[in-house]
Amino acid sequence: MERMVRVFWGPRKETPQELAGRWKAMLDALPALLPAASCAAAGQSWTWTRHRSSGRPTELRPDEADLAAALREDHDSPQTSDGAGLSLTSTGEPGWEIGISGRGGGESAYVTQAVVLEVTSPDGAEVPEAALLALLADIWEPDFGDAIDDELFDALEDRAGFDYTLSHVSVGRFGYLSPGRAALAPAGVGVARGELAGAGVLLDIAPPGDVEAVVDAYVRLRDAGALEPLPRPMGRTVL
């Protein structure tokens, strides 16, 4: 099964060194949440595969110096117009693979910053989506986020008019809303969970397979204004 856990935010200037600290905190926490997604021995640091737009993949250790160097390289590349990002993968036990792509530190009023975690797992395997979304929300301090898959995307497009080209703002089985968005959420949409260490609200919206509950929650949150895109040009990081 394939699923995505994603967070998004508006312009927020950060140096490659500052971004490296966020990346390291995220990568350091993943082995405890997804232990089957790497071939590293228990207690050993994972080695990630870094992918670039050109050239062969290379290994990347999750220490702050190597992460900062990789982010600085991307920031300084002629192909990079704003911010700095990485694309990493790890393959583990049979059927397990994760990929992380993210870009932050940008100041463009028209480019959304994002981190997307893609998890491939054997059918029936448990993936701690709520804990993963809480981790990304606490580390990246985003505007919104979700845990979603292709079936839910299709349902939102077909039944609720969701248009990915117009707005990234959605919810899946779980959703994260920054404080400004959470203040607009109507009562009774999802159940607030306690995993977050920082601000905002993590909503438990539906169990696996309950597509209708996700569609209903999306419509109610959208109609209440909690899923409005940031105004363009974006003059702030969160709603």
Note the pLDDT tens digit of each residue in 127-168: 999 999 999 999 999 999 999 999 998 999 999 988 877 778
Tokens of 103: 């870009």
Q: What is the mean pLDDT of the chain?
A: 93
pTM: 0.95
* Burial class of residue 102 in the structure, from the number of CB atoms within 10 Å of its CB (0-12 exposed, 13-18 middle, 19+ buried): buried
CB < 8 Å & 24+ apart, contacts of 194-197: 195/130, 195/131, 195/134, 196/134, 196/137, 196/138, 197/134, 197/138
- Tell me the angle at which helices 150-160 and 211-223 cross, rounded to the nearest 10 degrees: 50
Alpha-carbon distance of 18 to 99, in angstroms, equals 22
Structure confidence at residue 143 (pLDDT): 98
Structure confidence at residue 1 (pLDDT): 85
Structure confidence at residue 79 (pLDDT): 85
Q: Beta strand pairing status for 48-50 and 113-120?
A: unpaired
The answer to whether the peptide bond before residue 233 is cis (omega within 30 degrees of 0) is yes
Question: Which residues in the chain land under pLDDT 70?
Answer: 41, 43
Structure confidence at residue 226 (pLDDT): 97
> Per DSSP, what are the bridge partners of residue 45?
none
Tokens of 206: 């539906």
Residues 6+ apart with CB under 8 A from 104: 9, 12, 14, 19, 22, 83, 84, 85, 113, 115, 140
The full DSSP string for 76-112 is HSTT--SSEEEEEEEE-STT-EEEEEEEE----SS--
Alpha-carbon distance of 172 to 4, in angstroms, equals 10
Structure confidence at residue 225 (pLDDT): 96
